[in-house]
């Protein structure tokens, strides 16, 4: 009987020691010296996850991780994805993070005014995205802004989000549009916004430029926008890497607003929120012309004579700069 008590006491002490070791191993700070991103692929077994964490230097006690994951029936809740593990994270903290599914959010910024070809190039060059973009999205159908995504998300899924974002933004702005606009549909607003987007990079100028084009459309004066000619020359396959020539202005194309009155058949780029807002609530002015002022902005004119003087001044500035 005495021997039995001794054995039971030894077993109890061993169990208490094992429990203390386990609790310490699970809750003690881990070996990771600095935060680290690690991708856990779908379908990985708990043993494969353990090996990946060990190889990544995130944990240094594989048995403790396996015990905590398996004996507590937690392995079924470990979710795949890319995670940002903080420095010193414990085994318990690793399991909690993997259970949460709070994967690391990456960012991709689509600048305003890019053509669809350029947006696709950006998405295709992002290695954390997967899959092809099919079909090719229409020009002007994507809203430029910064998008969050997770490692392994599809490019097509991100394109769909860009399309939905544009439609949502456009619907809200269309409902609050000014009266008397020469725009019959939201699609026409996107077309004009894409031209405004390419004409000026200054946020404060967009409503004024939109006002000029609104005036010209209302008076049935051709828009005579250089960016539409560039689009006609390149056929929407990227930005023109040179200045427009006099011969370019004669390019036969429905996009050449020097030769064709009204709006082109489609947008010439993907306009941002500010340009969309500008064309739907343009500045009320009586300007009909504008030309670069040599400092990144434009100078505006009401008459052709005034405009010609501004053009002559701009050409002198160009000549002096050369």
Question: CATH number, domain at 87?
Answer: 3.30.1490.480
pLDDT on residue 57:
96
* Gap between the Cα atoms of 92 and 27, Å rounded: 6
Structural domain range at position 63: 24-100
The pLDDT averaged over each successive group of 10 residues in the chain (322 residues) is 64 57 78 95 92 96 88 75 96 93 96 96 97 96 97 97 98 96 97 97 94 97 96 87 88 95 97 97 96 88 94 84 73
| 62 and 114 co-located in one domain | no
Structural domain contains residue 14: no
| 95 and 140 co-located in one domain | no
Structural domain contains residue 249: no
| 33 and 86 co-located in one domain | yes
User: Where are the alpha helices (H) located in the chain, listed in sequence order?
Assistant: 2-27, 46-55, 62-71, 91-100, 116-124, 155-175, 186-199, 206-218, 226-234, 273-280, 304-321
Structural domain contains residue 117: yes
Asked which of 76, 100, 124 is the last residue of a domain, the reply is: 100
pLDDT on residue 148:
97
Asked which of 147, 164, 181 is the last residue of a domain, the reply is: 164
pLDDT on residue 12:
59
pLDDT on residue 289:
95
Structural domain contains residue 33: yes
Structural domain contains residue 84: yes
Structural domain contains residue 70: yes
pLDDT on residue 304:
94
Q: How many domains are there within the chain?
A: 2
pLDDT on residue 39:
95
Sort residue 152 into left (φ over 0), alpha (ψ -120 to 50) or beta: left
pLDDT on residue 75:
62
pLDDT on residue 130:
96
| 67 and 95 co-located in one domain | yes
Structural domain contains residue 144: yes
């Amino acid at each position: 009987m005495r021997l039995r008590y001794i054995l039971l006491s030894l077993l109890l002490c061993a169990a208490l020691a094992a429990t203390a070791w386990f609790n310490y191993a699970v809750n003690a700070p881990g070996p990771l010296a600095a935060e680290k991103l690690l991708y856990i692929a779908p379908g990985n077994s708990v043993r494969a996850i353990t090996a990946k964490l060990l190889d990544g230097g995130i944990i240094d006690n594989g048995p403790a991780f396996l015990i905590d994951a398996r004996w507590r029936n937690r392995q079924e809740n470990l979710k795949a994805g890319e995670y940002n593990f903080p420095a010193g994270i414990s085994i318990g903290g690793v399991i909690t993070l993997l259970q949460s599914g709070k994967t690391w959010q990456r960012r991709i910024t689509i600048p305003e005014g890019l053509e669809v070809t350029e947006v696709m190039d950006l998405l295709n060059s992002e290695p954390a995205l997967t899959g092809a973009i099919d079909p090719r999205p229409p020009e002007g159908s994507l809203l430029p802004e910064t998008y969050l995504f997770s490692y392994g998300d599809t490019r097509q899924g991100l394109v769909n989000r860009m399309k939905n974002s544009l439609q949502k933004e456009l619907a809200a702005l269309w409902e609050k549009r000014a009266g008397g606009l020469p725009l019959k549909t939201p699609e026409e607003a996107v077309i004009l916004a894409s031209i405004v987007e390419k004409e000026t990079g200054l946020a404060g100028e967009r409503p004024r430029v939109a006002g000029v084009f609104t005036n010209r459309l209302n008076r049935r004066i051709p828009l005579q926008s250089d960016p539409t000619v560039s689009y006609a020359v390149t056929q929407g396959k990227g930005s023109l890497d040179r200045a427009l020539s006099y011969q370019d202005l004669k390019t036969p194309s429905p996009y050449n607003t020097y030769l064709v009155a009204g709006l082109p058949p489609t947008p010439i780029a993907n306009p941002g929120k500010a340009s969309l807002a500008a064309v739907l609530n343009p500045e009320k002015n009586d300007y009909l012309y504008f030309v670069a002022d040599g400092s990144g902005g434009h100078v505006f004119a009401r008459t052709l004579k005034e405009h010609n003087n501004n053009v002559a001044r701009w050409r002198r500035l160009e000549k002096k700069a050369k």
